[in-house]
Structure 1
Amino acid sequence: MERMAVLFRSNPGAKPNSVKGFYIALAMFLPLLVLTLLGQRAFGVLVMTGALLTSFGDVGTSSRTQAWLLGMTAVGGALMTALGRLIGGPWWGEIVEIFLVVFISGLLSVYGRVAAVMGFLLTIPFVISLANRGGPATALPAAGGFLLGGAILMLFALLFAWLPAHRSTLRNEARPNRPQPRFTTLTAQFTLTSPLLRFSLLRAVGAAVAAGSGWIWGGPPFYWAAITVIICTRQDQEASLMMALQNVVATFLGALLAAVVITGMQNTLVLGLIVVAITCLAFSVKELNYLLYLFFFTILILLLISIATSGQSLAVWRVVTILVGAGIVLVITFLSQLPFFKLS
């Protein structure tokens, strides 16, 4: 019971950030509403997706760091989205591509925390882009929608960062100047004695296996399993297990509630308002508690899919894919204890 209670424990010193929840919801749904009224709903969905995925990069504490991370996430996400649409093909080829991208992104941590975060963030739009299989003809519109959504999110984030309640905090923060590792630092990791290489290799294999199992079965969005592996696999094995458990618990509870809402709510307008409210809640509590954030985020994703597919519920499939991804994380954690893969 004590270990389960840890899952619901708030992060020390963290508080709900309703401002962030508000401007992320605004950046996602205002462009979608405007573009839908202009008869460009499909492009509006791309813009909304770009804003949503760019929001993952909103982890900076200073305005400079926040702007840099959001800008890089928007531009890099657009490029990775286009790349995924351009090189997508047979499922076995996409598995190799996912392996390579996840493997390389894992090695970027030698350049510091920011590079590690960027490498991690950019794998997500790439995997999602491959899963959509829109073809090369959709690469430019998808990238443009992502970039526009990211730019809108960045604009709102920086605008709200200068509200009176945050100015004093942001003004006093400085970005330390640190020497940047050279390219040789990265190439030095290409040896079997490197713990980072072994970690990156395990995570890349796990993500490829997760994606491959879904594409072989040919079911609904199975890239969720691959993304679960990417998110939850950490060099800290205890942290990996904790995140995997949080993903399973939050997904089960969120999918259960989402299924009830989808079944019982037939009014699209009311459902849309619920989605906006859930978006605000999810990103308001993101820094407060990871499980609570995943709970609301699961509801958000399933409700968005339901609206897009006229009431279709993928709640059960969401739970199945997250269980598969979490299971692979457990296997990776076990393998990391073996002499060859020992990470420390």
Structure 2
Amino acid sequence: MTEMRLWAVVVTFDRRDQLAVTLRRLLESDPVDLAGILVVDNASTDGTGAWLAGLKDPRLRVLTLSRNQGGAGGFEAGLRHVMEKTDARWVCLMDDDARPVAGAFARFRARRREDRAAWFAAVTYPDGAICEMNRPLLDPFGSARSTIAALIRGRETFHLSPDAFRASDPVDIDGGSFVGAFLSRRAVEVAGYPDGRLFIYGDDTTYTLQLGRLAGPLGFDPDIRFEHDCGTTIAGTPIRPLWKVFYLYRNRAMVYRQTVGRALGTAIYLGLGAVWRLRAGRYGTDRAAYLRLWRAAMSDGLAGRLDRDFDAVRALISGSGPGR
């Protein structure tokens, strides 16, 4: 069995009940399999900080941020802390509503891992169905032919086949999500850190694609299982809370340009932007607010700007303030 020092990083904001389930699962892990746990509290307002302060376990650390920096900012801060303040050789990232299935860390230790810069778990909903938002990524843009096929076939071209979840052997992938992501210290030293300015959406995609390109191959291991107890978004329904519209649309520009290059990525972004504009009618009385968010997202996305903070984004909803 391979000797390694594994730390878990959990980012949380105002979901104490979910965090409690996740921490209970993590603390049940054998200390040989999981050396430490860092909870990054994104300035929660629901009593999470006081609750965490009452927990006593030598493996548990808490990093409390002065303001909510979103999942992206939380993962950047947490990863930096573990890299700088611990002797971890591997770091496993997860949301507060995601957690390893029993035995996941022991299975990670049981196999030689040094031949990959990072490994990604098979993530399912509690009922066992594949969690689509956490399905590992494939980069279909290696050639003009595969790019055309990707644009025609859509989502399935970009994600690992469901058959891989039922297989017994690991496979190579090009990227993944920050749920059940096992990053090696060497890979982080080579590729750097996630960009916290993205706040939410796309931060894991852009970072893990970069990780694979700079630090080496990435692997998906179906034997390592995670459970994500998240609410699902039904395709075609309005995005809520409304401020998420800005980050979802703005950050798509960064994802498309990273995968297919600036020219084609911008063209794809503009085409989808026109589609997103047409969705305003779904928002009823929030139509004007949606359009303000859409315009700001498209403007910042095309300019590559990441300097609009969370308060400025929320100000766009009411139309108050400068919006930056």
Kindly indicate which of the two structures has a greater share of residues assigned to helix. Answer: 1
Q: So what's the TM-score if we normalise by structure 2? A: 0.29
Kindly indicate which of the two structures has a greater share of residues assigned to strand. Answer: 2
Q: So what's the TM-score if we normalise by structure 1? A: 0.28
